[in-house]
Structure formats: structure tokens, C-alpha cells
Amino acid sequence: MGLMDWLFGRDRKKEEVVESKELEAIATLKKQLNNMEVKGNKLQRQVGEQKDLAKNMLKIGNKIGAREALVRSNVYLQKYNQLSNSRLNLQTLIDNISDATDAKELVSAMKIGNQVVSEMISEVETEDLEKTMIEMEENRDRVDIMNETLADTTAIETNMSMEFTDGIDEQLAALEMEISGELPEIKDKEIENVGDEEEREKEEESKEIEENLESEEKGMDETE
């Protein structure tokens, strides 16, 4: 039996009949539960009325009447407790039916899902799957080769001058020595040492300040 036959064939009609019975059972139980609630409210009211009656009897000194009222109050209370227990059992039954219905629907949904997956898998040929995986592996290798080719700097380094290449090697050696904690001796002619440049600038500024001071002193002497 195929999936469509299972969904719309005779099995589906049986499911609808069972579902209809479940709904009917729950509706009947809920109706009975509502009737019990009405009876329970009435019994509660009677319990309160008899207690009030007992109080009034005591106020007028009628202890016998008060006692009889309390007896009736306790009888009503006992009936109410029995009815409450019955309502609890009935509600539990309704919940069990609802839970069973949910579980059945879940199992049915899982069954349909598994059947769909099985039918989809059956449509996939093993040879097609293996061919697809091989093609995917080949394409991935091609992409890796393309990326390596695009990232290759051999052509750039070939066009560099010997002096430029030596400078790069010296800088690399200096960095390695710096990382290892040694002081590198930088011989790169193309890159100035930034620290030395700052020191020279400071010396030039100090010399300029001294010259300005000497000039001002001479001017003051001539004025005198």
C-alpha cells in the first residue's frame, strides 16, 4: 500500500471512525463532569445553610435543633467529598483519553514521515550517489588548486631585484633575532631606523633652541 492509499484509503476511514468515537467519549465525560459540578455547588450551599441554621438554633437555646442541623451539614459535606473524588477520577479519565489521542497522532505523524523518507531514499540510486560524491571531491580539489595558484607569489619575487631580495632576507633575519631576544643588526639601506630618526630630530631642535638663545643674548648686549 502506497502513501496516498494510506492517507486516503480504507485505513484513513477507520482512523476517522476511531477519532469520532474518541471525541464523542470526551464530550460525554465532560457533560457528566459539568453535571457533577452543578451538584457539588448545590451541596456546598446546603452545607453552609445547615451550619448557619445550627448557629441560629443555638442563639435561641435550641440545642437539639442545632445538633440536627449539624448532622445534616455533615451528611451534605460527606456527599460533596464523594462527588469531588468522582469528579477527580472523571477528569483524570478525560486527560488520559486526550493524552492517548495526542500520542496516537504523534505515532501516526512519525509513521508518515518515516514512510516518506523511505520512499525518497528508494528513488536515489546508489550509483548516482557515488558519482555525485566523486564529482564533489574532484571539484573541491580543483578549487584548492585554483586558490593555491592565485596565492602564489613566485612570479612577483622573480621580477624583484637582487638588492631588494637581500633586503627582505635581512629584515626577516632581524625579526627572527628580535623574537628570540637578541639585538639584530639591521643593514637594510632602503628602510631608515625610526628610533635614530627621532633622536636626530631632537638634536636638531635642541641646536636650534641654543642658536636662538645666543642670538637673543647678542641682541641684548648690543642694546646695552
List pLDDT tens digits, range 68-116. 999 999 999 999 999 999 999 998 988 888 888 888 888 888 888 888 8
φ/ψ region of 125 (left if φ > 0, alpha if ψ in -120 to 50, else beta) reads beta
The residue from 100, 124, 148 where one domain ends is 124
The residue from 124, 158, 183 where one domain ends is 124
117 and 208 inside one domain: no
26 and 115 inside one domain: yes
In three-state secondary structure terms, 159 is coil
116 and 212 inside one domain: no
Decide if 164 is inside a domain: no
CA-based end-to-end distance of the chain: 125
Number of H helices, E strands in the chain: 7, 0
Decide if 169 is inside a domain: no
Decide if 187 is inside a domain: no
Decide if 65 is inside a domain: yes
15 and 116 inside one domain: yes
Burial 23-57 (b: 16+ CB within 10 A, else e): eeeeeeeeeeeeebeeebeebeebbeebbebbeeb
Cell, residue 21 = 468515537
The residue from 109, 124, 139 where one domain ends is 124
Q: How many degrees, rounded to 5, is the angle at CA 147 between CA 142 and CA 150?
A: 125
Decide if 180 is inside a domain: no
Decide if 144 is inside a domain: no
* Structural domain boundaries, residue 42: 3-124
- Tally of domains within the chain: 2
14 and 103 inside one domain: yes
Decide if 131 is inside a domain: no
10 and 117 inside one domain: yes
Cell, residue 7 = 492517507
- pLDDT, tens digit, for every residue of 25-60? 888 888 988 999 999 999 999 999 988 889 888 888
pLDDT of amino acid 18? 63
- pLDDT, tens digit, for every residue of 11-30? 566 666 667 777 888 888 88
